[in-house]
Amino acid sequence: MTVVNYSLQDIFGPGQRVFVGLEWFKEVLADKRLHDALGKQLIFSGLVLLIEMPLGILIALMMPKKGLTASISLVIIALPLLIPWNVIGTIWIIFTRPDIGLFGAAINGMGIAFDHTSNPLQAWITLMFMEVWHWTPLVVLLSYAGLRAIPEAYFQAAKIDGASTWATFWYIQLPKMRGVLTIALLLRFMDSFLIYAEPFVLTGGGPGNTTTFLSIYLVKVAVGQFDLGPAAAFSLVYFLIILLFCFIFYQVLKNVGKGEKS
Amino acid sequence: MSITIENISLSVNKEIYLKDISLNFDSGSKNILLGRTLAGKTSLLRILAGLDRPSKGKILVDNKDVTGVSVRKRNISMVYQQFINYPSFTIYDNIASPLKVAGMGKSMIDSRVREAAEMLHLEDMLDRMPGELSGGQQQRCAIARALVKDTNLLLLDEPLVNLDYKLREELQIDLQDIFAQRNAIVVYTSTEPSEALKLGGNIVILDKGRVLQNGITSEVFHKPATIKVAEIFSDPPINLINCHVEGSVFHLGQNVTIPLTGHMKSLASGNYIAGIRSNHLYLNPQNKTDTAIEAILDLAEINGSETFFHVNYAGTKLVVQEVGIYSKKINSKILFYLDPASLFVFSKSGELILSPENFSV
C-alpha cells in the first residue's frame, strides 16, 4: 500500500509530499530508458528460457535413473542453487578476470581478447553463462522429478508399439512433464525478469547501460536519484508486466496441454 | 500359433523372480495367470512380451526360439494396470498409433480404428483427449489400442484392477466377447479368483515365482492340488480346520463329528486338514445333512451385498460368507452350518486327498 501511496505523490522529505495523481505513471511509461531496460530484460529472459529449458530437460534425460550415481548427480547438479546470489556475481568476476580468472585467462590465452567490463557483447555472454550455470539446475531438478514420476509401463507400451526414442520423448515424456515444466518456466521467467544481484555485482549494469535491466534501473531511480514517486510507479508497472506475462504463459501452456491429464 | 515356455527362470541380484517354469499356450486359448502380489505374474508376462530376457530357459513360438528377440520385432499387444495412453493424442490417434508406426494406409487405419472403437464402445469419444475421459473409458482406449494391432499374442496385466466394481463387471463381460472373436493367445494376469472364474479358459497358479498348478480353470478350482493352490484360488482364502478320522467318524476340530459318508467314506483313519470355502458355510442350514458349528464372532464385515463373519472355532479362525447384510453382536456365540459334501480333505503335508463331488462355485 505504501508503494501505491508513493506512486501518486511527489515526496520531498518526511512529511513533505504533494498529490500528483497519475503523473508519475505517465512519466514512467514515456521514459525511453525504461523502454530500453524493458527491451533488454525481455531479451535476457527470452534467452534464459530458450537455453535453460531445453538444456535442463536434456541433462535430466541423461542423468542416472537410480542407485548411488543418481544421488551423487543430484547433489552435484543442485550445488549452484545453494550459493547466495551476490556470491555468484563475485565468483564470476574472479572466474572471468583476464589476469587471474580461469575462464578469462583461458579465453585470452586462446588469442581472444576477453574483458566483460569493456565489451558489451562479452558482458552479455558472461551474464548468460553465469545465469545458465546458476539456474539450469532448477529446471534439471524439476524435469528429473517429472521424468521419474512417469510409470515404467508407458515406456514399455511405447516399445511394444514400436515407437522411436524421439517419439517416446515427444509423445510421452514431454506431455507427461507438462505440469512441472509449466512451473519451471514460470519460475525461471519471474526470477530472470527480476534479476538484480548477479548482474549488479558482475557488471553493475555496464559497460555503459548495456546490462542495465529493469531492476537495476529501478534501484538507480529509487536509491540513486531518490525519486521515490516515479520509482513506486515504476515498481507497480514492473509488477503488472510480470503478472501479465505469467498470465499469458500460463494460459498458453494450459491450452496447449488441454485434456492431457492422464 | 503356439508358444512354449521351457524351464524359464529369472533372477535379479540373486533374488528369484521366476523358477523353472514350463508352459504351453495354444492359438485361440485364454490363459489366466493367477497369484498374489509378487507371485511372478508380471515378470512372466514381461518375458512373454520380450521386454525382459530370462536368466535361464527358452521361449519357442511355433518351435522357433525367440528368447532374445526384441519386443519391437515381436507382434504382440499389452494392456497394463495403469491406463496407458498417449496423453497428447486424441482417442482416435491413440488407437491408430500402432498402425501408423506399422506404416498402414490411411483408409485401412480408419476402418480398423473405428472397428476397434465400436467393439469397446468408444465411437462417440474418438475426438476427445484421454484426460477428458473416465478411468474406465481410458482403459477401454488402451484395450482398443492393443486390439487394433490384431496380434497373435495379447497380454493383459491386471487390466481391470484400477477400475471400480461396476466398470470391472461391465468390462469383464465385454472382454469375454472380444477374446472369443479372436484367434490370438490371450494371457491375462489377476489376483482375484472370481475374475479368473468369470474368464474361464486355462489357469496357471503362481506363487513365489513357481507354477503350483495349471489346467482348465474350473477343474483347478474344484480340484486344487495343494492347500496353497486352494488358498490362492479362494477369496477369502479357504478355511482350514485340523481334523482326524477314527473308524467311521470324521472329527472336525475338537467339537464336531461327522459320519463318513459321500466322497469321504473311503477315508482311512488318521490326521488330515479339512478345507471349506467361506461361501459354503451358512448361517442357516441348507440341507438335512448340514452340520452345525458353534463359534465366537470376532468381526462382521459388510462388503457390497455380502457379510463376512470372522469367527473363532476352538482357536481356529474361519470366515463365513453370507449373502445379505446382517448385524450380529461381536464376541457373542454364533451358529453356522456346513455341508460335509463340500469339504476338501488335504494331507497334513498339504496335498489334496479328496475334493467334493458335486461342486458349485
Digit-coded pLDDT (tens) for B207-242: 999 999 999 999 999 999 999 999 999 999 999 999
Residue B125: name the closest of B111, B137, B142, B136 by CA. Answer: B137
> pLDDT category, A261, cuts 50, 70, 90?
very low
* pLDDT (average), residues B96-100: 89
Minimum Cα–Cα distance from B127: chain A residue:
A259
Using a CB-CB cut-off of 8 Å, the residues of chain A touching B46 are 156
Residue B174: name the closest of B138, B217, B140, B125 by CA. Answer: B140
Highest mean pLDDT among B71-80, B281-290, B292-301: B292-301
Residues in chain A: 262
Helices (H), ranges, B90-209: 91-101, 106-119, 135-148, 165-181, 193-199
Percent of chain A with pLDDT over 90: 26
Which one has a higher pLDDT value, A107 or A116?
A107
Residue ranges per structural domain of chain B? 2-229, 239-354
Minimum Cα–Cα distance from A177: chain B residue:
B87
Closest partner residue to A161 (CB to CB) among B46, B88, B101 is B101
> pLDDT category, B6, cuts 50, 70, 90?
very high
Using a CB-CB cut-off of 8 Å, the residues of chain A touching B101 are 161-163
Assign domain A31-86+116-226 one CATH number from 3.30.720.120, 1.10.3720.10, 1.10.443.10, 3.40.640.10. 1.10.3720.10
CB pair distance less than 8 Å for A260 and B78: no
SS3 A178: helix
CB pair distance less than 8 Å for B78 and A172: no
Using a CB-CB cut-off of 8 Å, the residues of chain B touching A154 are 84
Task: State the nearest Cα–Cα gap between A150 and chain B, in angstroms.
Answer: 10
Residue owning grid cell 483313519: B269
Minimum Cα–Cα distance from B138: chain A residue:
A262
Per-residue model confidence (pLDDT) at position B358: 64
* pLDDT (average), residues A39-66: 93
The rounded mean pLDDT for chain B is 90
Closest partner residue to A175 (CB to CB) among B51, B88, B128 is B88
Per-residue model confidence (pLDDT) at position A257: 56
Q: Is the per-residue pLDDT at B361 higher than 80?
A: no
Which one has a higher pLDDT value, B253 or A77?
A77
Cell numbers for A121, please give them: 557483447
Closest partner residue to B78 (CB to CB) among A151, A157, A258 is A157
CB pair distance less than 8 Å for A162 and B81: no
Per-residue model confidence (pLDDT) at position B359: 56
Which one has a higher pLDDT value, B150 or B65?
B65
Task: Name the amino acid, one letter, at A131.
Answer: E
CB pair distance less than 8 Å for A262 and B128: no
Report the b/e string of B213-237 with b at 16+ CB within 10 A: bbeebeebbbbbbbbbbbbbbbbbb
CB pair distance less than 8 Å for A160 and B71: yes
Using a CB-CB cut-off of 8 Å, the residues of chain A touching B131 are 259-262
> pLDDT category, A256, cuts 50, 70, 90?
low
Task: Name the amino acid, one letter, at A97.
Answer: R
Closest partner residue to A172 (CB to CB) among B46, B86, B98 is B86
Q: Is the per-residue pLDDT at A136 higher than 70?
A: yes
Per-residue model confidence (pLDDT) at position B155: 94
SS3 B61: strand
Minimum Cα–Cα distance from B99: chain A residue:
A161
Per-residue model confidence (pLDDT) at position B204: 97
Cα–Cα distance, B95 to B143 (Å, whole number): 9
Over the stretch B99-129, which tens digit does the pLDDT of each residue have?
888 888 999 999 999 988 988 889 999 999 9
CB pair distance less than 8 Å for A260 and B97: no
Percent of chain B with pLDDT over 90: 62
Interface with B, mutate which of A165, A174, A262 (most B CBs under 10 A) = A262
Q: Write phi, then psi, for B89 (nearest 5 degrees).
A: -100, 150
Per-residue model confidence (pLDDT) at position B190: 95
CB pair distance less than 8 Å for A262 and B85: yes
Task: State the nearest Cα–Cα gap between A215 and chain B, in angstroms.
Answer: 39
Q: What angle do CA B240, B243, B246 make, to 5 degrees?
A: 160
CB B316 within 8 A of CB B242: yes
Per-residue model confidence (pLDDT) at position A258: 57
Cα–Cα distance, B22 to B262 (Å, whole number): 37
CB pair distance less than 8 Å for A161 and B98: yes
Per-residue model confidence (pLDDT) at position A202: 78
Lowest mean pLDDT among A232-246, B38-52, B197-211: A232-246
Using a CB-CB cut-off of 8 Å, the residues of chain A touching B98 are 161-162
Cell numbers for B228, please give them: 496353497
Per-residue model confidence (pLDDT) at position A110: 87
Closest partner residue to A160 (CB to CB) among B78, B82, B133 is B78
* pLDDT (average), residues B172-178: 86
Which one has a higher pLDDT value, A186 or A29?
A186
Cα–Cα distance, B280 to A195 (Å, whole number): 74
Cell numbers for B323, please give them: 449373502
CB pair distance less than 8 Å for B88 and A257: yes
Per-residue model confidence (pLDDT) at position B178: 85
Which residue spans within A124-247 are E strands per DSSP? none
Which residues are CB-neighbours of B92 under 8 A, at least 6 positions away? B113, B117, B126, B127
Per-residue model confidence (pLDDT) at position A94: 87
ipTM over 0.95: no
Cα–Cα distance, B115 to B111 (Å, whole number): 6
Assign domain B2-229 one CATH number from 3.40.50.300, 3.40.50.1820, 3.40.309.10, 3.40.1390.10. 3.40.50.300
Percent of chain B with pLDDT over 70: 99
CB pair distance less than 8 Å for B84 and A153: yes
Regarding the domain delimited by B239-354, which CATH topology (the fold level of the hierarchy) does it fall under? Answer: OB fold (Dihydrolipoamide Acetyltransferase, E2P) (2.40.50)
CB B52 within 8 A of CB B43: yes
CB pair distance less than 8 Å for A161 and B80: no
CB pair distance less than 8 Å for A172 and B87: yes
Q: Is the per-residue pLDDT at A262 higher than 50?
A: no
